Chains A and B, each alone.
Chain A
Amino acid sequence: MNIIVVGCGKVGFTLVEQLSMEGHDVTAIDERADRINKVKDEFDVMGIVGNGVSYQVQVDAGITDTDLLIAATNSDEQNLLCCLIAKKTGHCQTIARVRNPVYHKELEFFKNEFGLAMIINPEYATADEISRIFQFPSAIKIAPFANGNIEMLHFRITKDSPLNGEHITNIRTRFNKNILVAAVDRKGEMIIPNGDFSFEEDDTVSIIGKRQEAIDFFNKCGLITNRIHNAMIAGGGKISYYLAKNLLKAGISVTIIEMNRARCEQLTELLPKATIICGDATDETLLEQEGLNRTQGFAALTGVDEENILITLYARKNSNAKIITKINRINFSSVIDELHLDCVVNPRMIMADHIVRHARTFKKSLESDVENLYSLHGGKAEAIEFIIKEHSALTDILLKDLTMKNNILICSIYRNGQIIIPSGQDTIQIGDSVIVVVTGHRISDINEIIAK
């Protein structure tokens, strides 16, 4: 597929990386030659220096043969204009990044009136993910499938967890029978567990199941599952705003600490119910003063990654809160892993996930659609939900008779409101939504799981 990415800032760069890894023909456009050179040096893509809004530049980038244009420059207006021109010039689908909260309510209008395939707001998506975790703090990451009926939850095994050292076959008998262990991340290595797998301390485990079953499971594991009642947010950026709004709506009280007085005043206007503190979130006394030790949820969302990490480490030491750390850059991820931060969100990766998913579904196959896609543990594995639409080589065949590729696990089948943890006797049928976990492959069609 031919894809044009306009704007090669942090988000654009990640997008170019992900999309070119997917094997698409990517052309990057940016006004700054140094950025284009960097992208061209690191990835197998074309680069054009110029303003992506310009008709001529788009033509140079081959807009007429392009299937998808993604506008991810700094400016919302530029992104929208860029998509509009692309739409008029070529016959491509367009995706715009629109971040300004002012436009947030108008997104549907933009989408319909401008003919955009998708509008993406990484800050909003990130806030959404954080508030999901706050409402279910036992997990470190939650990925909803089948319209939220099934969830994939990630949690870490601590030293004194009852699961520590437990054999995988005991899970269904001792804990909960409607839960499936989909993948385990052990010291940076992704494992799709087989019959003789045992859990160890510090494993990050991904399970799939319904929310109620998951709560039951966590209860039996001795993990607290109560949702939080108050939250403290360090930094008052766009994510903080969206997050506070979400949390307040759910009845969770929110304290935001922000340094810039003007921004604080803006925030009080926008969020009258939140407590806005004007001060430095790296100030220990201030954090204590505002009740860090009593808070149940804490989110480090300042603009500086290093600051977020330090604040997190301090909060971990001085409170029992559920802590979420925002990290923008993905450099040194191995070092950050070693810090064992409870829960890390990365707006760039969240956005890249969304767009990669869209690009995969673009090539609509007759038999199945990619409904959801999440990259797990820094892209080492993927969880993909397919909706089965037509008969194919694997429908109505007993799963034990299918020869699948290595490193692929069919995690669950969702059929008529019922979740099926698949065994050899089950079949995949039309209308099912099938969740598959994959490492080392990139698949965009359910048929690709069969070994040839």
Chain B
Amino acid sequence: MNYSIVLYIVGYVLKFEGIFLLLPTIVSIIYQEHNFYCYLIVAAISFCIGSLLCHFKKTKMQLFPRDGFASVALSWIVLSIFGAIPFVLTGDIPSYTDALFETISGFTTTGASIIPDVEALTHSGLFWRSFTHWVGGMGVLVFIMAILPLTGSSTMNLMKAESPGPSVDKLVPHVKDTAKILYGIYIGITAIELVLLILFKMPVFDAFTLTFGTVGTGGFGVLGDSIASYSPTLQIIITIFMILSGVNYTAYFLILTKRIKSAIKMEEVRWYFIIILTSVAVITLNTMHMFHSIGETLRHASFQVGSIITTTGYATYDFDTWPTLSKTILVMLMFVGACAGSTGGGMKVSRFVILFRTIKKELSLLIHPREVRKVRMDDHAVSHEVIRSTNVYVAVYLFVFFTSLLLISIDNFNFTTNFTAIAATLNNIGPGLDLVGPTQNFSIYSGFSKYVMMFDMLAGRLELFPMLILFHPSCWRRR
């Protein structure tokens, strides 16, 4: 590993965290909470350490793939370590482990909380926790890439490590411009939702925090019952924006550049909507007896489906009380996740499309053993590399999933709780079922289990490999 460049990037990330932390400071001043200095101190410290790290002499400004993976993983860890400090200082979350859990849950856009009573938090704390969603949604490094003075393939190695999906592609020739376009779209969607929420009479503070949570597909709310007490119109707006945030951003780029036809043709986006529509339909039929009208059923069903498939994790209804069929569908959606190249987590729709087509191809090969056939997607043959990495991803995913399940079962909670807790953290959803259901929280678990789940959240957000590579001894070896 090229330590100088990795430290340089981590330093850059810290500098930006210092800048980001100024926002909760401002919120704190607006609401006249006397804890603004907590944020200011941490902002100053991380900015100073960041500048110091950036100052190191860089022997070589060339970033190889392993440095890319390592610096992304380390950046996210360091980001969370520093981001957690203000919660402890302000007394919002007295235990540092809990604060770290909350922060990682924020940055990885999970939205799993250990706070029993959200409404007791300070405004600045609520704001910071939601803002971490927004930063983590599109990715810190993608943000920094637009500014980072690296050239050529180096930035691509960072982008590959941070962006979700089986194959990462640029929208325009330069990575920097791609990063700018992605953030442009991201900021655009954020702004539209914010304006709409405020127009439909949501309190301004709630509008900000919930927008960050929706667009980043995070899931931290400001009220104890998540979204349930907002008006139906607001719930519908949030549903729409959750689902929009789970769409591959390439589609938006195509629409913006007037290539609407190719945007509609994107198979991943089509399947994403097909899955949503089918799930909503089945759940609506299944839960109809619980509500007064079809409209209400539809609203709750689509909200929950949108929330789970995009891995946001908001709730308008305690779906833990729903029939088993509906609950099972929701758990399955947790694994499917959103589109590649979106802000959502999970295994990604495109991986499932590729997997199913690989299965189809294998079956066809059994019937015609000498057949030559390729897996296709979006009118192109999927390269062997992508198929291989998809298969390996699934294998590693299952391995991580079951190891984590085993580790947290020490706490002796029931299987549904443990299974959905891991599913909810590894897929960056937030709430699970039973004891970690939408009205519950993760504070029941022991410190050890919390660390396991913190790892899962980071691994899930960074698509496993960047986190796992840190365990490979030769990753730490100097070149």
Contacts and interface: CB of A to CB of B under 8 A. Distances in A.
A20 B155 CA distance: 14
Nearest to B171: A46
Contacts of B175: 44
Contacts of B383: 33
Contacts of A20: 152, 173
Interface in B153-175: 153, 155-156, 170, 172-175
Contact of A43 (B153, B172, B176, B177): B153
Given A25-B172, A41-B156, A46-B173, 18 more contacts: A20-B173, A21-B151, A25-B177, A26-B173, A27-B173, A40-B156, A42-B152, A42-B153, A43-B152, A43-B153, A44-B152, A44-B153, A44-B156, A44-B174, A44-B175, A44-B176, A45-B173, A46-B172
Contacts of A42: 152-153
A41 B153 contact: yes
Interface of A: 2, 20-21, 25-27, 33, 40-46
Contacts of B170: 46
A379 B170 CA distance: 28
Contacts, number: 32
Nearest to B177: A25
Nearest to B153: A42
Nearest to A20: B152
A378 to B, nearest CB: 17
Nearest to A45: B173
B367 to A, nearest CB: 29
Interface in B171-207: 172-177
Contacts of A2: 173
Contacts of A43: 152-153
A37 to B, nearest CB: 9
B172 A44 contact: no
Contacts of B176: 44
Contacts of B151: 21, 44
A20 B173 CA distance: 9
Pairs A-B, 3 closest by C-beta atoms: A25-B173, A46-B173, A44-B152
A45 B170 CA distance: 9
A142 to B, nearest CB: 32
A244 to B, nearest CB: 40
Main secondary structure of the interface of A (DSSP, over half): mixed
25 contacts: A2-B173, A20-B152, A20-B173, A21-B151, A25-B174, A25-B177, A26-B173, A27-B173, A40-B156, A41-B153, A42-B152, A42-B153, A43-B152, A43-B153, A44-B151, A44-B152, A44-B153, A44-B155, A44-B156, A44-B173, A44-B174, A44-B175, A45-B173, A46-B170, A46-B172
A376 to B, nearest CB: 21
Nearest to A3: B173
Contacts of A33: 383
B437 to A, nearest CB: 45
Contacts of B155: 44
A40 B155 CA distance: 12
Contacts of B156: 40-41, 44
A44 B171 CA distance: 12
A7 B132 CA distance: 45
Contacts of A41: 153, 156
A45 to B, nearest CB: 5
Nearest to B155: A44
A46 B176 CA distance: 13
B153 to A, nearest CB: 5
A40 B174 CA distance: 11
B378 to A, nearest CB: 12
B15 to A, nearest CB: 23
A125 to B, nearest CB: 27
A223 to B, nearest CB: 39
Contacts of B172: 25, 46
Nearest to B154: A44
B150 to A, nearest CB: 9
Contacts of A40: 156
A42 B152 CA distance: 7
Q: Which of A21, A25, A27, A45 has the most C-beta atoms of chain B within 10 angstroms of its own C-beta?
A: A45
Q: Which of B172, B173, B176, B383 has the most C-beta atoms of chain A within 10 angstroms of its own C-beta?
A: B173
Contacts of B153: 41-44
A40 B178 CA distance: 14
A26 B175 CA distance: 12
Nearest to A41: B153
Nearest to A43: B152
Contacts of A44: 151-153, 155-156, 173-176
B21 to A, nearest CB: 31
Contacts of A26: 173
A41 B157 CA distance: 8
B187 to A, nearest CB: 22
A40 B172 CA distance: 12
A98 B152 CA distance: 29
Nearest to B385: A37
A20 B151 CA distance: 10
B197 to A, nearest CB: 37
Contacts of B152: 20-21, 42-44
Contacts of A46: 170, 172-173
Nearest to B150: A44
A33 B374 CA distance: 15
Contacts of A25: 172-174, 177
A8 to B, nearest CB: 14
A43 B172 CA distance: 13
A27 B172 CA distance: 9
A40 B168 CA distance: 12
A103 to B, nearest CB: 32
Nearest to A26: B173
A394 to B, nearest CB: 28
Nearest to A25: B173
A66 to B, nearest CB: 11
B293 to A, nearest CB: 49
Q: Which of A26, A27, A43 has the most C-beta atoms of chain B within 10 angstroms of its own C-beta?
A: A43
Nearest to A49: B380
B146 to A, nearest CB: 13
B304 to A, nearest CB: 40
Contacts of B177: 25
B345 to A, nearest CB: 26
A283 B474 CA distance: 48
A169 B410 CA distance: 82
A441 to B, nearest CB: 15
Contacts of B173: 2, 20, 25-27, 44-46
Nearest to A23: B174
A27 B176 CA distance: 15
A33 B383 CA distance: 10
Contacts of A27: 173
Contacts of A45: 173
A6 to B, nearest CB: 15
B158 to A, nearest CB: 12
Interface in B383-428: 383
A94 to B, nearest CB: 19
A26 B156 CA distance: 15
A42 B151 CA distance: 10
Nearest to B380: A49
A41 B63 CA distance: 12
A45 B177 CA distance: 11
Interface string B23-35: 0000000000000
A45 B172 CA distance: 8
A48 to B, nearest CB: 11
Nearest to A28: B173
